[in-house]
Amino acid sequence: MEYAFKLFVFTFINFSENLQKVFMGLPASIKDWEAKMRCLVVGHIVRDVIVRGPKTEIRIGGGAYYSAVTLSGFCEVEVLTSVGRDFPQDWFDELRQRGIKLHVVPSEESTSYLLHYIDASTRELRLLSVAEKIQNIPGSGYDLIVLNPVAGEIPPGTVVEALKKSPFVAADLQGFVREPEKGKVLSREVDASFLRGLKVLHADVLEIGLARGLRPEDVEVLLVSNGEKEGRAYLRGREYRFKPVKIPVEDSTGAGDVFLAAFSHFYHECPFVQALKRAAAFTALFLRHRSPDFPMEEASELAMKVEVVPTDDDTSAC
């Protein structure tokens, strides 16, 4: 009897130690679980020349940059981009400090834009230079892939490859409809049928009219933003209206890119309406702080002020 009791105690202690080792290897919080999510952002990181009145500023930009920075607080982020020797080393350092891993397609020069702001939300764009196209996606097993081109650098074949490598692919229409020619930035009508099957597609009210061969129901979620004005969102073809929270911002650069990335993350974690509200609030605060480094509680509180209304039921807001 004494032998059996000692054997039981010995077995229980070993079991407890092994169980402790297992649990010590597990994340300590929900945030740690989220950090295990792998996200890939594809698109050119850009050298932006920004002119406001008499002031000129050169800084890092591009849709891939803003989407990657947004996601860096939620998951492990990799960026597939193309830059040249003119890309400053301290910009690489900034991305790495945020834990962002870079895959770089070498180029003679980086993509660069001249952004001349008329006011906080109105700008004129000129394309100064263009880096190489992005043809192949490295690795696999991504929980989320965000395709965010700025100058036609992502061909349709790369979109098809992304859809094979992740169950959740989001994209911004902007870089697919822009003419990749130097000079004043122009947009043209495109056959957008290669974007069918995306989980999320974002466009502004002007860009979406340039996408031929694509209906709202061809993607799971279609987000159509209109700056600080009321936007539209479609869930499997059903239309909703959403009203962003109006807060004063000096610079709206990157708004659509932050909105796309934030919504994609939140939609990965929670229902559509909740994700839409959170993304709109997160974007507003990002623009105010010019950074994602603000308390999420602040975003949650602001999200409650975002109105989301299905257009077939205008009598009540969600």
How is residue 36 written in tokens? 């295990």
Q: In what order do the strands lie in the sheet with 229-235?
A: 101-106, 76-83, 38-42, 144-147, 169-172, 200-204, 221-226, 229-235, 238-243, 307-310
Q: What angle do CA 236, 231, 314 make, to 5 degrees?
A: 75
pTM above 0.75, yes or no: yes
DSSP alpha helix (H) spans, 60-179: 63-71, 89-97, 156-165, 174-177
**Mean pLDDT in the chain?**
88
pLDDT for 217 equals 97
pLDDT for 9 equals 37
Q: What angle do CA 181, 192, 156 make, to 5 degrees?
A: 70
Digit-by-digit pLDDT tens for the chain (318 residues) are: 444 434 333 333 343 444 333 333 333 333 444 446 999 999 999 999 999 889 999 999 999 999 999 999 999 999 999 999 999 999 999 999 999 999 999 999 999 999 998 876 678 999 999 999 999 999 889 999 999 999 999 999 999 999 999 999 999 999 999 999 999 999 999 999 999 999 999 999 999 999 999 999 999 999 999 988 999 999 999 999 999 888 888 888 899 999 999 999 999 999 999 999 999 999 999 999 999 999 999 999 999 999 999 998 654 444
CA–CA dist 115, 49 (Å, integer): 6
Looking at the domain that runs over 36-310, which CATH code has it been given? 3.40.1190.20
Strand runs labelled E in the chain: 38-42, 46-52, 55-61, 76-83, 101-106, 112-117, 123-129, 144-147, 169-172, 183-184, 190-191, 200-204, 211-212, 221-226, 229-235, 238-243, 307-310
DSSP state of 210: G
User: Which sequence spans correspond to the domains of the chain?
Assistant: 36-310
